[in-house]
Chain A
Amino acid sequence: MKRFLLACLVCLTIAAVPSCDLKYFESTEFGDIVFDPSLAIPVGTITYTVAELFEELNDGGAVIAPNGEDVVTLTYTETLQSQSASGFLTVLDQSFGSSLVSGTDLSNPPVETTISISELYEFDLTQTADEDYDSIIFNAGSFDFNASSNIGADVDFTATFISLENATGPIVITGSLPSGGANFVQSESLVNGKGLFHLDDQGNPASSKFLVRIAYNITVGPTNSITADQQVSFTIGINNTSFQTVYGNVGNQSLTVGQQDISLDFFSTFDSGDITFADPTVRFIFDNSFGFPLGIDFQQITAVSGTGTNIPLQGTVVDNLQVVNAPSVSQQGQVVRTEIEVTANNSNIDALLSSKPTRFLVDVGAESNPATAPASYNFIDDSNLLDVSVEIEIPLELNINGLIAEEVVDFSNGDDLAEAKRLLFRVIAENELPLGGLVELQFRDGSGAVIYTVDERPAFTAAAVGVDGRTNEVAMSTVDILIPEEGIRIIENAASINVVATLTTTDAQNATAVKFFNDYELRFKLAVQADVEVNSNGN
Chain B
Amino acid sequence: MKKLLTIALLVLGFTSANAQGYLSFYQLRDIVPQTSGIQPAFIPDNSLTISMPAMNFGVMLQGDLELQQLLSRPAGQTDLTVDFDLLHEAAQEENFLNLDVTVNLFHLGIKTKHGAFSLFANARATFDFAYGQGLTDFLANGNANSIGETIDFSDTQIRAEAYQEIGIGYARKFLGERLTVGARAKLVTGIFHASLADGASGTLTTAADDFSWQIAIQNGTANTAGLDLLFNSDDYADDALTTYALNNENKTVAFDFGAKFKPLKWLEVEASVNDIGSIDWKEQVRNYNTADTVATFSGLDLEGLQDSGEVFKDSLENKFRSNETRSAFSTSLPTRVYLTASAYLTERDRFSLTYFQSSALNNLPANYALAFNHRFDKFVIGVLGTHRRSNNETNIGANLGTNIGPLQLYMALDNVLVLNKPEQYSKADFRFGLNLMFGYKKWRKKSEVANLDEL
Contact = CB atoms under 8 A, between A and B. Distances in A.
B390 interface: no
B438 interface: no
Interface stretch (B124-132, B168-176, B362-370, B419-427): B419-427
Contacts, number: 142
B422 A24 contact: yes
Nearest to B395: A18
A37 B417 contact: no
B349 interface: no
Interface string B378-418: 01010100000000000000101010000000000000110
Interface stretch (A208-216, A224-232, A503-511, A522-530): A522-530
B81 A34 contact: yes
Nearest to B79: A31
Interface in B131-151: 138-145, 147
B442 interface: no
Nearest to B71: A30
A428 B138 CA distance: 25
Given A42-B210, A428-B210, 10 more contacts: A4-B379, A11-B400, A17-B416, A32-B79, A33-B82, A37-B142, A42-B213, A43-B299, A45-B300, A478-B209
Dominant SS among interface residues on chain B? mixed
Nearest to B379: A7
A37 B79 CA distance: 21
Interface residues of B, number: 52
B422 A22 contact: yes
A383 B55 CA distance: 110
B78 A42 contact: no
Contact of B68 (A6, A17, A24, A47): A24
Contact of B299 (A3, A10, A17, A42): A42
Interface residues of A, number: 48
Interface stretch (B152-160, B253-261, B274-282, B301-309): B301-309
B169 to A, nearest CB: 29
Contacts of B236: none
Interface in A371-423: none
Interface string B58-71: 00000000001001
Interface in B177-212: 206-207, 209-212
Interface of A: 1, 3-4, 6-7, 10-11, 14-15, 17-25, 27-47, 426, 428, 478, 525-529, 531
Nearest to A422: B144
B359 interface: no
B83 to A, nearest CB: 7
Contacts of A3: 376-377, 379
Contact of A428 (B71, B140, B209, B421): B209
A32 B83 CA distance: 10
A30 B416 CA distance: 25
A35 B377 CA distance: 57
A523 to B, nearest CB: 11
B212 A42 contact: yes
Contact of B80 (A10, A31, A43, A526): A31
A18 B300 contact: no
A525 B420 contact: no
Contacts of A4: 376, 379, 402
Nearest to A413: B308
B420 A45 contact: no
20 contacts: A4-B402, A10-B381, A18-B419, A20-B420, A25-B422, A28-B78, A30-B71, A32-B81, A37-B142, A39-B142, A39-B143, A42-B211, A42-B298, A44-B300, A45-B298, A426-B210, A478-B209, A527-B299, A529-B144, A529-B211
